[in-house]
Protein backbone atom coordinates (compact mmCIF):
# COMPACT_ATOMS: atom_id res chain seq x y z
CA UNK A 1 0.00 0.00 0.00
CA UNK A 2 1.68 3.25 -1.10
CA UNK A 3 2.57 5.84 1.51
CA UNK A 4 1.14 9.37 1.38
CA UNK A 5 -1.98 8.21 -0.28
CA UNK A 6 -5.63 8.81 0.18
CA UNK A 7 -6.63 5.58 1.86
CA UNK A 8 -10.33 6.18 1.28
CA UNK A 9 -9.87 6.14 -2.48
CA UNK A 10 -7.22 3.47 -2.32
CA UNK A 11 -9.46 1.13 -0.38
CA UNK A 12 -12.30 1.71 -2.79
CA UNK A 13 -10.01 1.00 -5.72
CA UNK A 14 -8.99 -2.37 -4.36
CA UNK A 15 -12.58 -3.30 -3.65
CA UNK A 16 -12.80 -2.74 0.09
CA UNK A 17 -15.25 -0.30 1.60
CA UNK A 18 -13.41 2.57 3.24
CA UNK A 19 -14.77 2.27 6.74
CA UNK A 20 -13.42 4.31 9.63
CA UNK A 21 -11.72 1.29 11.07
CA UNK A 22 -10.00 0.29 7.85
CA UNK A 23 -8.73 3.79 7.22
CA UNK A 24 -7.36 4.01 10.76
CA UNK A 25 -5.60 0.70 10.34
CA UNK A 26 -4.16 1.84 7.01
CA UNK A 27 -2.71 4.89 8.68
CA UNK A 28 -1.24 2.80 11.44
CA UNK A 29 0.20 0.22 9.08
CA UNK A 30 1.23 2.00 5.93
CA UNK A 31 2.27 5.52 6.93
CA UNK A 32 5.72 4.34 7.86
CA UNK A 33 9.20 4.70 6.55
CA UNK A 34 10.37 1.25 7.55
CA UNK A 35 8.56 -2.02 7.06
CA UNK A 36 6.56 -3.03 10.07
CA UNK A 37 6.37 -6.44 11.69
CA UNK A 38 3.53 -7.12 14.07
CA UNK A 39 1.09 -9.54 15.65
CA UNK A 40 -2.63 -8.90 15.99
CA UNK A 41 -2.08 -8.04 19.62
CA UNK A 42 0.63 -5.50 18.79
CA UNK A 43 -1.90 -3.79 16.54
CA UNK A 44 -4.70 -3.71 19.07
CA UNK A 45 -2.29 -2.25 21.62
CA UNK A 46 -1.02 0.39 19.21
CA UNK A 47 -4.54 1.39 18.28
CA UNK A 48 -5.42 2.15 21.86
CA UNK A 49 -2.02 3.48 22.92
CA UNK A 50 -0.97 5.55 19.90
CA UNK A 51 -4.28 6.44 18.32
CA UNK A 52 -6.56 6.47 21.36
CA UNK A 53 -9.13 4.51 19.45
CA UNK A 54 -10.88 1.25 19.97
CA UNK A 55 -11.39 -1.21 17.16
CA UNK A 56 -12.86 -4.55 18.09
CA UNK A 57 -10.56 -7.53 18.02
CA UNK A 58 -12.70 -9.26 15.41
CA UNK A 59 -12.40 -6.27 13.10
CA UNK A 60 -8.64 -6.18 13.47
CA UNK A 61 -8.52 -9.84 12.50
CA UNK A 62 -10.94 -9.29 9.62
CA UNK A 63 -9.07 -6.28 8.30
CA UNK A 64 -5.63 -7.81 8.56
CA UNK A 65 -6.91 -10.87 6.72
CA UNK A 66 -8.54 -8.68 4.07
CA UNK A 67 -5.31 -6.74 3.52
CA UNK A 68 -3.36 -9.98 3.40
CA UNK A 69 -5.76 -11.40 0.81
CA UNK A 70 -5.38 -8.28 -1.30
CA UNK A 71 -1.62 -8.59 -1.05
CA UNK A 72 -0.81 -5.66 1.20
CA UNK A 73 0.29 -7.73 4.17
CA UNK A 74 2.32 -10.88 4.35
CA UNK A 75 2.27 -13.60 6.95
CA UNK A 76 5.72 -14.53 8.27
CA UNK A 77 6.64 -18.07 9.27
CA UNK A 78 8.41 -18.31 12.61
CA UNK A 79 8.06 -20.61 15.59
CA UNK A 80 5.49 -18.80 17.59
CA UNK A 81 2.07 -19.26 19.01
CA UNK A 82 1.12 -15.92 17.50
CA UNK A 83 0.93 -15.06 13.80
CA UNK A 84 3.36 -12.41 12.57
CA UNK A 85 2.63 -10.08 9.67
CA UNK A 86 4.86 -7.82 7.63
CA UNK A 87 4.03 -4.72 5.59
CA UNK A 88 6.81 -5.74 3.22
CA UNK A 89 4.97 -8.16 0.95
CA UNK A 90 7.82 -8.94 -1.41
CA UNK A 91 9.62 -12.26 -1.23
CA UNK A 92 12.39 -11.55 1.24
CA UNK A 93 14.17 -12.93 4.27
CA UNK A 94 14.20 -12.31 7.99
CA UNK A 95 16.43 -12.13 10.97
CA UNK A 96 14.62 -13.33 14.06
CA UNK A 97 16.00 -12.30 17.40
CA UNK A 98 15.42 -15.22 19.73
CA UNK A 99 15.78 -12.99 22.78
CA UNK A 100 13.63 -9.99 21.91
CA UNK A 101 11.37 -11.90 19.47
CA UNK A 102 11.92 -9.10 17.01
CA UNK A 103 11.87 -9.56 13.25
CA UNK A 104 14.20 -7.64 10.95
CA UNK A 105 13.96 -7.67 7.18
CA UNK A 106 16.78 -9.06 5.10
CA UNK A 107 16.29 -8.24 1.46
CA UNK A 108 17.06 -10.45 -1.50
CA UNK A 109 20.22 -8.50 -2.23
CA UNK A 110 21.51 -9.00 1.32
CA UNK A 111 21.91 -12.67 0.42
CA UNK A 112 23.70 -14.19 -2.54
CA UNK A 113 21.14 -15.83 -4.75
CA UNK A 114 20.04 -19.22 -3.53
CA UNK A 115 20.65 -22.10 -5.86
CA UNK A 116 18.50 -25.16 -5.32
CA UNK A 117 19.86 -28.52 -6.44
CA UNK A 118 16.75 -30.41 -5.45
CA UNK A 119 13.14 -30.06 -6.52
CA UNK A 120 9.83 -31.77 -5.95
CA UNK A 121 8.49 -33.54 -9.05
CA UNK A 122 5.23 -32.07 -10.29
CA UNK A 123 5.50 -29.03 -8.05
CA UNK A 124 6.44 -25.47 -8.83
CA UNK A 125 8.45 -23.34 -6.44
CA UNK A 126 6.33 -20.50 -5.10
CA UNK A 127 8.85 -18.85 -2.81
CA UNK A 128 12.26 -19.39 -1.28
CA UNK A 129 12.72 -17.57 1.98
CA UNK A 130 15.40 -17.65 4.62
CA UNK A 131 15.00 -17.31 8.37
CA UNK A 132 18.17 -16.33 10.20
CA UNK A 133 17.92 -16.82 13.93
CA UNK A 134 20.18 -14.62 16.01
CA UNK A 135 20.94 -14.17 19.70
CA UNK A 136 23.60 -12.35 21.66
CA UNK A 137 25.71 -15.37 22.56
CA UNK A 138 25.70 -18.53 24.67
CA UNK A 139 22.15 -19.20 23.51
CA UNK A 140 21.07 -22.62 22.35
CA UNK A 141 20.43 -23.11 18.68
CA UNK A 142 16.70 -23.40 18.74
Partner DNA sequence: CAACAGTTTAGAATAATTATAATGTATAAT
Partner DNA sequence: ATTATACATTATAATTATTCTAAACTGTTG
Query: Rule CB under 7 A: which residues touch DNA?
Result: 12, 16-22, 39-41, 54-59, 61-63, 65-66, 81-83
**Do 90 and 69 contact (CB within 8 A), yes or no?**
no
* Complex with a copy of itself: residue 57 or 111, whichever CB lies closer: 111
CA–CA separation, 69 and 32 (whole Å): 21
Residue in 41, 18, 38 with CA at minimum distance from that of residue 29: 38
Q: Which of DNA, a copy of itself, none has residue 111 at its interface (CB below 5 to 8 Å by kind)?
A: a copy of itself
- With contacts defined by CB under 8 A, name the span among 28-36, 37-45, 49-57, 71-79 that binds a copy of itself: 71-79
Q: Which of a copy of itself, DNA, none has residue 57 at its interface (CB below 5 to 8 Å by kind)?
A: DNA
Q: Angle at Cα 85 formed by Cα 38 and Cα 113, nearest 5°?
A: 120
Return the sign of the alpha-carbon dihedral for residues 73, 8, 43, 30: positive
Contacting residues toward a copy of itself, per CB under 8 A: 68, 74-79, 83, 91, 95, 97-98, 104, 106, 109-112, 114-118, 120, 122-137, 139, 141-142
Amino acid sequence: MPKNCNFVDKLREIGLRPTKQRVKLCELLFLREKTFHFTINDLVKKISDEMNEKISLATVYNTVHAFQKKGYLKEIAINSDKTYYDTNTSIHHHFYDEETHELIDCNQNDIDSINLKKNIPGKKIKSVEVLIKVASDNQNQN
